Amino acid sequence: MKSHYRVVVIGGGIVGTSVLYHLAKAGWTDIALIERAELTAGSTWHAAAGFHAINDDPNIAALQTYTIKLYEEIEAESGQSVGMHMPGGYSLATTPERWEWLKSEFCVYQTLGIDARLASPEQIVADCPIVDPKGLLGGLFDPHEGAVDPHGTTHAFAISARKRGAEVILRNRVTALEPLPDGHWRVITEQGPVIAEHVVNAGGLWARRVGLMAGVNLPLTPMQHHYLVTEDLPELLAMNEEMPCVTDLEGFTYLQQERKGVLLGVYERNPKHWHTEGAPWDYGMDLIPEEIDRIAPELTIGFSRFPTLERAGIRRWVNGAFTFTPDGNPLVGPVPGLRNFWAACGCMGGFSQGGAIGRVLASWMVEGDPGTDIFGMDVARYGSFASNDEYLREMTAQFYSRRFIIAYPNEELWAGRPLKTTPAYDAQAALGARFGVVHGMETPQYFASGDPAFEEKPSLRRSNADRFVAAEVAATRNAAGLLDTGVYARYEVSGPGARSWLDGLLASRLPSPGRLRLAPMLNPRGRLMGDLSVTCLSPDRYWIVGSYYLQTWHLRWFNDHLPSSGVRIDNLSESWLGFSLSGPRSREILARLTNEDVSNAALPFMGCRVMDVGSTQALVARLSLTGELGYEINVPAAQQRVLWGSLLEAGRDLGIAPIGMRAQDSLRLEKGYGVWSLEFSSSVSPFACGLDRFIDFDKGEFIGREAALRERELPPTQRLVLLAIDSPEADVTGHEPVRRGDRRVGYVTSGAYGHHVRQSLALAYLDVDALEADAPLGVDVIGTSRPARWLREPPYDPAATLLRS
């Protein structure tokens, strides 16, 4: 071991070795992996090591595809077999709902470029003779499913990394981490101290403990997981080919061939945590005693789907632990609040994702950018609230137990809730609010007004709650809607350097005092980092408003670019709240609560003012996402409850209605407005999504200007457009393919029913040449192609006169 390395990777599991390999491949060779025991000594050695390309998040699906393709490469480079088997795999449908869901997933996979196919029960049984076809309706076959040898694969990464100059140091526990004033780390190990410019936490089962050494409590925890391996089965002995893997979604089990027997794994509905704080330091390569009684209900279903198992001998039981995060995705990237400390942990699918985590992290460390939109696995997608033990336990148990359960688009899950509520929460609940959750914050989805006993049914089709949403849309279009904006993040930027700093950070021109602007923020690749609004309160005081759930992510970006003096940024997201009041009567309502002149001349579109509103003192900005005349009214959190009551009271005789996010979605789609994470993301070019019109190339330097200028010369190949879909009973939710004839010409980003225009609507990225041809389009809605057409202008108020009225 040397005294100094550019990077020390802590942990020699599948993830740590992949990080080491990718760093070495990217040219950083003064690097070392330090491992407490032997390579694979955490979760890795006893993993079932199955892999698949499929993931709900298309960006993660693409990265999983990368991981799978990499196996051949590292086997060749290292000369070490990875024990690759890729017979493909079936997901079974044994209920009509599941079959419908699989058919709709099949369409989404086409968007993701995964060449899956639907299969009949006969086909499944022909390929997998141990499957009992009773009640089987069909299945989805993914050709990229299989398994590797966890030991061989980990060593293949390590050998390849060593060949490129990296060091692997075994039997040497890291016992402490000390930050140094220059941003480097003193890494204390059993074999002595070492200085590292960067530290990567790939500590797997111990990653929470390793994080705490650096002063950060990461939201991850180990949980137990069982599988069994059988003796040889006669059906498999009779087969020449390897049998495809099988996941019995309604049975909570997955199965893969192992030699001439099978490995059957269980995602039980009664899961169990294991050392929430991280594995004990003296935990060896041991198994946890199996708890067969706890998994018996799922095993019973598993044995009835695969009856031959009842007669099979069990060669071994495995009960091991691996780590889960609240949403089941890993924690990757620079840890907010720390310098040069990187996360590569919380990974429950090391053999689908380990390769990609290594590539993304190495790109981030070497190039300063992960290279693609990885928000779904970014360590900064969580705030510190997510590391609370109780929250973590509830969320991870919910994720684990629902691993194979259908996730309906209109379904709200209840783990870890309520955690954060705005002061108006109880008053909203009393009016029938049904809440969703964003980054821990309860936020009304709709108000079941006048029907306290109403129960929403989870469905792929239009929800039975739509009558409430329709009424909220009507109220907004005809009178006024009042939406809680607790889902906004608010930041104040102040100081003598505030204006010039913001000018370099944001791609838009900055507003003058009393005005606001929509402000795209770019990264050096010219891709979006935010669709913010910036408000100028005075020449050295600004507000930035963005998405509440992005606050840790955005603050990391802001702080990374903050100069050492002259600018201060305060996160007001928990201390300021407010409402969006919009609709034709909204000015009248506001005027009833203030002595200020709120006429169009005095407070025009994109104007802002600090004013009294009822008994509160508010920052009022004139804009809306509904397409109506509207105001965003922001107040200190303690005044939000009073403001809620004042606004409702003032608008009562004018027809005001409290509205939720579902109505907002319907309203924004009628205007064709995109939102972050659906239409806009860090993999999207501002020219493709239309945000380029807010970029001011003439103002001088700003982050991403050069890349955006280059991109301006190349017309985008796809464009964000609004579609009308003829679909009588369901709307699209995202990622569905759009076709022209047989050709896939794009994909949907979001959809909703436009209750005012009475039309199913979707935003979609479409190939530009498909638009030029102006031919009829088709969109897959729950697996069935529906006619669609491009709307050249939004169906509601295309000239945007109401917004400016």
Ligand X SMILES: Cc1cc2nc3c(=O)[nH]c(=O)nc-3n(C[C@H](O)[C@H](O)[C@H](O)COP(=O)(O)OP(=O)(O)OC[C@H]3O[C@@H](n4cnc5c(N)ncnc54)[C@H](O)[C@@H]3O)c2cc1C
Rounded CA separation 606/489 (Å): 18
Cβ atoms within 10 A of the Cβ of 181, count?
Answer: 5
202 binds ligand X (CB under 6 A): yes
Residue 376 burial by CB count (10 A; 0-12/13-18/19+): exposed, middle or buried?
buried
210 binds ligand X (CB under 6 A): yes
146 binds ligand X (CB under 6 A): no
Q: Which of 205, 362, 757, 788 binds ligand X (CB under 6 A)?
A: 205
Please answer whether residues 612 and 618 qualify as being in contact, where contact means their C-beta atoms are separated by less than 8 angstroms. yes
379 binds ligand X (CB under 6 A): no
CB of 583 to ligand X, least distance (A): 50
203 binds ligand X (CB under 6 A): yes
10 binds ligand X (CB under 6 A): yes
How many residues in the shown chain lie near ligand X by CB under 6 A? 42
Residue 576 burial by CB count (10 A; 0-12/13-18/19+): exposed, middle or buried?
buried
Here the tokens at position 628 are 């109506």
Query: For ligand X, what does the binding mask look like between residues 490 and 529, x meaning CB under 6 A?
Result: ----------------------------------------
392 binds ligand X (CB under 6 A): no
Q: How far is CA 481 from the centre of its chain?
A: 29
Here the tokens at position 214 are 């650096």
Here the tokens at position 803 are 């917004």
439 binds ligand X (CB under 6 A): no
- Alpha-carbon dihedral 279, 280, 281, 287, rounded to 10 degrees: -70
Cα angle 784, 788, 793 (rounded to 5 degrees) comes to 150
CB of 279 to ligand X, least distance (A): 8
11 binds ligand X (CB under 6 A): yes
Q: How many residues in the chain?
A: 805
CB of 354 to ligand X, least distance (A): 6
Nearer to ligand X, 347 or 471 (CB): 347
Nearer to ligand X, 345 or 537 (CB): 345
211 binds ligand X (CB under 6 A): no
86 binds ligand X (CB under 6 A): no
Please answer whether residues 114 and 144 qualify as being in contact, where contact means their C-beta atoms are separated by less than 8 angstroms. yes
Nearer to ligand X, 348 or 689 (CB): 348
Closest C-alpha among 670, 651, 724 to residue 475:
651
Nearer to ligand X, 213 or 619 (CB): 213
Give backbone dihedrals phi and psi of 53, rounded to 5 degrees, phi first: -90, -20
Q: Which of 28, 274, 351, 446 binds ligand X (CB under 6 A)?
A: 351
CB of 193 to ligand X, least distance (A): 13
CB of 682 to ligand X, least distance (A): 24
Here the tokens at position 421 are 């509520």
Rounded CA separation 250/403 (Å): 11
In single-letter form, the type of residue at position 686 comes to P
CB of 727 to ligand X, least distance (A): 37
Give backbone dihedrals phi and psi of 206, rounded to 5 degrees, phi first: -105, 5
In single-letter form, the type of residue at position 140 comes to L
Query: For ligand X, what does the binding mask look like between residues 302 and 341, x meaning CB under 6 A?
Result: ----------------x-xxx-------------------
Here the tokens at position 190 are 């059993």
Nearer to ligand X, 13 or 584 (CB): 13
Helix, strand, coil share of the chain (percent; to 5): 30, 30, 40
545 binds ligand X (CB under 6 A): no
- Contacting ligand X within 12-51 (CB under 6 A): 12-16, 34-37, 41-44, 46-51
Q: Which of 162, 173, 402, 462 binds ligand X (CB under 6 A)?
A: 173
Rounded CA separation 271/254 (Å): 16
187 binds ligand X (CB under 6 A): no
Q: What is the CA radius of gyration of the chain?
A: 27
347 binds ligand X (CB under 6 A): yes
261 binds ligand X (CB under 6 A): no
225 binds ligand X (CB under 6 A): yes
358 binds ligand X (CB under 6 A): no
Nearer to ligand X, 250 or 290 (CB): 290
Cβ atoms within 10 A of the Cβ of 206, count?
Answer: 27
Closest C-alpha among 633, 675, 676 to residue 480:
633
541 binds ligand X (CB under 6 A): no
In single-letter form, the type of residue at position 73 comes to E
**Window contacting ligand X (CB under 6 A); options: 6-14, 308-316, 640-648, 661-669:** 6-14
| DSSP character at residue 507 | S
Question: What is the helix (H) or strand (E) element at residue 22, kind and residue range?
Answer: helix 14-25
CB of 281 to ligand X, least distance (A): 8
Query: For ligand X, what does the binding mask look like between residues 47 and 76, x meaning CB under 6 A?
Result: xxxxx-------------------------
CB of 167 to ligand X, least distance (A): 14
Closest C-alpha among 530, 499, 496 to residue 513:
499
CB of 202 to ligand X, least distance (A): 5
Nearer to ligand X, 154 or 547 (CB): 154
Range list of β-strands (E), 148-280? 167-169, 174-179, 185-189, 192-201, 221-230, 245-248, 253-258, 261-266
185 binds ligand X (CB under 6 A): no
Nearer to ligand X, 16 or 630 (CB): 16
Nearer to ligand X, 48 or 116 (CB): 48
CB of 295 to ligand X, least distance (A): 12
345 binds ligand X (CB under 6 A): yes
502 contacts: CB under 8 Å, gap ≥ 6: 493, 510, 534, 542, 544
Q: Kindly list the residues in this chain that would bind ligand X in the complex (CB under 6 A).
A: 10-16, 34-37, 41-44, 46-51, 173-174, 202-206, 210, 225, 227, 318, 320-322, 345, 347-352
